[in-house]
Amino acid sequence: MKKVVVTGVGIVSPLGIGKEANWDGVTSGRSGIAPISLFEPDENLITKFAGVIPGFDASQWLSKPEARRYDRFLHVALAAGLEAVEDSGLTIDDSNAKRVATILGVGLGGMPFLEDTIGARIATRKLRRVSPFFIPGLIANMAPGLLSIYTGARGESWTATSACASANHAIGASLRALRSGACDVALTGGAEAVVCHTTIAGFNAMKALSTRNDDPSTASRPFDMDRDGFVLGEGAAVLVLETEEHAQARGATVYAEVAGFGATADAHHITAPRPDGDGAVQAMAMALADGGLANEQVGYINAHGTSTPANDRMETAAIRALFGDHAKQLAVSSTKSMTGHLLGAAAAVEAVFSVMALQQGILPPTINQFTSDPECDLDYIPHVARQAEVEVVLSNSLGFGGTNAAVAFRSAR
């Protein structure tokens, strides 16, 4: 079976713009969560804080008219995608363009555009004043679409949508496409930028979000006893995946191997996970089996770890159920404690952190660990990043609808 490797990364998140800022932030335990600065939150909005990309200026990548035509998630997708391609040193031209695929994960897509247009035009029945760019500027697949236009990539181009698991499904699909020989390179990952009234009101209504308005930077506290819901974040990450032979032929630097992918469904509930976590257990097991890996080769798990009471309890149980005794040797952390939950882009930023952890030999921490929960009793790398060279990293992403996706990355050392 063809080996697939990561040769470039690009990332914009609440921790900053670019690979350096993000790796620096995530290994120094910085929080990217603050009172919302993107807009003036209505007084009736229950949660008034989120993870917003600091100082993001779309004009760095797009002209003013173009930026205006595309929802924000497209701006961040492009920023991350172009950084990833540059980072990989890959030139995309007539000689290889048809062999480069663009497959990204997007959960909700152009919500802000929808909200603005519905408010200004639809609700007031100015139906003939809806912008001609309204539809193309908000549909989920315009993320890989724009990336293919800007890079010239002419291989298959589409979006995986599976809520919070989206980007892992996109990475899994890219892995399969590369192994099958359908393409030689895949630009994959995810993008999401839905920090707006509609999204927050929706998540608040289902009591999914933390309401810790008096202390936002400590609100995202996965596995902690007093966790009270997830913190919404925005951002994008793109990884350049290639077959190993393609990477070696052009002398590319390799971050890590994408060793395996596993995906399952809970068939249980639209939002709550199976309490026994069996869907997650099977997804992790499948990813390891797919990579021909033994449980004991796993040294670190980048957990889904949303900071909701239900997920963190269930995911801990799932890890224990799968790994048994080896769970005691595992380091598990949730970088959502620092970035917040980027929904369709979550698995993408977490994939970047996973491959960098393997390459750099540093495991990111879970911050905001104040009071331990007896039901969450694994080693969550509290507070401080840890120097450790591990062989295999598992990255979990579990979404509404009971969809589970896990990717296993392996060290290139």
Partner 1 sequence: MSVQDKVIEIIADQLGVTVAEVTPDKTFDELGADSLAVVELVMAFEDEFDVEVEESQASELKTVKAAIDFLNGLTS
- β-pairing, 256-265 vs 4-13, is antiparallel
CB of 249 to partner 1, least distance (A): 38
Report whether 337 contacts 226 (CB < 8 A): no
- Nearer Cβ to partner 1 (21/130): 130
Choice among 75, 169, 246, 304 that is catalytic: 304
Contact letters (x/-) for partner 1, 68-107, by CB under 8 A?
A: -x--------------------------------------
**Candidate list 21, 66, 152, 389; residue touching partner 1; CB under 8 A:** 66
Q: Which is nearer to partner 1, 23 or 70 (CB)?
A: 70
Residue 115 token pair: 């909200």
Count of residues near partner 1 by CB under 8 A: 10
**In terms of CB distance, is 128 or 325 closer to partner 1?**
128
Q: Which of 55, 64, 270, 374 binds partner 1 (CB under 8 A)?
A: 64
Find the part of the chain contacting partner 1 (CB under 8 A) among 65-73, 194-202, 216-224, 337-345. Answer: 65-73
Is the four-CA dihedral 314, 317, 321, 327 of positive or negative sign?
positive
Q: Is 62 or 322 the residue whose CB approaches partner 1 more closely?
A: 62
Annotated catalytic residue: which of 75, 164, 169, 246?
164
Task: Report how far residue 301's alpha carbon sits from residue 293's, in angstroms, rounded to the nearest whole number.
Answer: 14
Pick between residue 69 and residue 154 the one whose CB is nearest to partner 1. 69
Q: Given its phi and psi angles, is residue 267 left (phi above 0), alpha (psi -120 to 50 degrees) or beta?
A: left
CB atoms closer than 10 angstroms to residue 38: 15
Provide the minimum distance between the beta carbon of 312 and partner 1 in the complex, in angstroms, as a whole number. 46
| Closer by beta carbon to partner 1, 131 or else 211 | 131
Give the C-alpha separation, 51 to 34, whole Å.
6
Which among 19, 108, 2 is positioned nearest to 353, based on CA atoms?
A: 19
Interface positions, 117-136, toward partner 1 (CB under 8 A): 129, 131-133, 136
Token pair, residue 197, equals 């009234």
CA distances from 323 to 66, 120, 288 (A): 49, 53, 11
- Among residues 37, 60, 63, 248, which is the contact residue for partner 1, using CB under 8 A? 63
Residues 192-231 that bind partner 1 (CB under 8 A): none
CB of 142 to partner 1, least distance (A): 13
- Asked about 246 being catalytic, the answer comes back as no
Kindly list the distances between the CA atom of residue 88 and the CA atoms of 83, 186, 224, 340, in Å, as whole numbers in the listed order. Answer: 9, 12, 38, 27
Contact by Cβ (8 Å): 260, 173 = no
Q: Is 248 in the site for partner 1 (CB under 8 A)?
A: no
Applying CB under 8 A, the span of 60-68, 96-104, 232-240, 325-333 interacting with partner 1 comes to 60-68
Asked if residues 38 and 200 have their Cβ atoms less than 8 Å apart, the reply is no
CA triple 271-382-312, angle to 5 deg: 15
For the chain, the 3-state helix, strand and coil shares in percent, each to the nearest 5, are: 40, 25, 40
Reply yes or no on whether 304 is catalytic: yes
Q: Is 196 a catalytic residue?
A: no
Angstrom distances, CA of residue 183 to CA of 4, 6, 99, 161, 352? 11, 14, 5, 21, 21
Smaller CB separation from partner 1, 127 or 270: 127
Stretch that binds partner 1, among 58-66, 181-189, 191-199, 293-301 (CB under 8 A): 58-66
Closest separation in Å from C-beta 113 to partner 1:
14
Residues of this chain that interact with partner 1 (CB under 8 A) are: 63-66, 69, 129, 131-133, 136
Residues that are catalytic: 164, 304, 341
